Amino acid sequence: MKSAFLFLLVFFAGCTVNIDSQGNNILNNSDNNVIEQNSNNISNNIVSQNNSLVLTIWYDEGVSIQLPQNWAVAFYGVCASKSFVAYDINNPIRQVFFFSEAGPVYTSQAQKDNDLAYVAMGGYALPYVNAPVVSPLNAQNFLEHFIELAEMEAIKEAVPLAPKINELQIISSNKSLVSLFPNSNDAETIRALFKQENILGEGLFYIETLDYGLLTLGFNNLGYASIFIGLSAKEDEFTEYEELLNNILNSYTISEEYVSACIQAQNQAASAALKAGQTLSETSDIIMDSWDNRQRSDDIISEKWSDTTLGYERVYDSETGEVYRVENGFYDSYNINREYYEMNNLEQLPENNWDLWTASTNYEEDIR
């Protein structure tokens, strides 16, 4: 078994760095013993490739990441458990996160029942005894159950910014033929809609899972996400922001010196996790390839699910091509009362017209 549980036994402190409008770092330490303010931290403004967005490079203890201004980043864990959550201060669902491990979860209800009975009889207070059962343990099931992990009291105290991914609707998933961790039993890039703080978001998630029950022939029915990465934004802006979010992920780097020091301080078992986080360019390539090669039908499915979740439908002007997002039931009423409208040629969107389904939408009140 791993010597440390990412959320429950390792993430006992974090450091939040707010990037203000001048690009300066403002450190808020929740535990000065973990990450202390370092006068050598440097914040340099650079211009992104499209020369329209100023990013900031932030350095601390061998870690660097590039973020837009007015974003914040919280780092958790050390060495093999080093992880982060970066987000837009004004729009937190616009976020990038990387957890080098996430869990544990149970892969057997019987194992959880046994642990609950053991604790009830006065046994050692297992910190993960309230973790969800995820069976079978794979990337999709882990993502669907992640809200149960994030809502555990121990995790809310240790990792308050763990994303609360709720009401998940998976649009598509692509299995990776090669995983970053050799013992992973599943590796997938998943596109999904979800709610966070009651806001509808869309995201791409890369997850590798490790089921110890399979490795130990059922002796230890616990499992992890051996790597869990997410990029997300509001549903109606994700297409616009996906490249930026992926570039943020790609920019996260752990220096060779930090990796070497951690391996010496811990053991060789830490090297795989550290090197996975040393640069996330390989994973960002996997995510970008999945996005670039997505099917147009997935985009339409995403838009339809968004409408269903929010209680909308769409109509378009057959002459101008303008698309309008309207309340459910609008078209049925409109269709029998066209003569009362100046815009009397609105139609429902064709089922498979990608151009219309992905077009920017106008409001119902714009219909005359």
**22-64 residue pLDDT tens:** 333 322 333 322 232 232 333 444 333 444 567 888 876 788 8
For 240-267, what is the mean pLDDT?
Answer: 84
Spatial CB neighbours of 138, under 8 Å, sequence gap ≥ 6: 185, 186, 188, 209
Inform me whether the pLDDT recorded for 366 exceeds 70.
yes
Instruction: Characterize the bridge pairing of strands 102-106 and 253-254.
Output: unpaired
Distance, CA of 257 to CA of 159 (rounded, Å): 26
Tokens standing for residue 354:
């990608």
**181-236 residue pLDDT tens:** 778 889 999 999 999 999 999 999 999 999 987 777 767 899 999 899 999 999 98
Model pLDDT, residue 298: 85
Of 254, 251, 250, 247, nearest to 273 (Cα)? 254
Share of the chain above pLDDT 90, in %: 36
Is the whole model's pTM more than 0.85, yes or no?
no
Distance, CA of 95 to CA of 163 (rounded, Å): 9
On whether the CB atoms of residues 250 and 288 are closer than 8 A, the answer is no
Q: How many CB atoms lie within 10 A of CB 175?
A: 11
**DSSP letter (8 states) at residue 298:** H
The pLDDT-based confidence of 279 (bands split at 50, 70, 90) is low
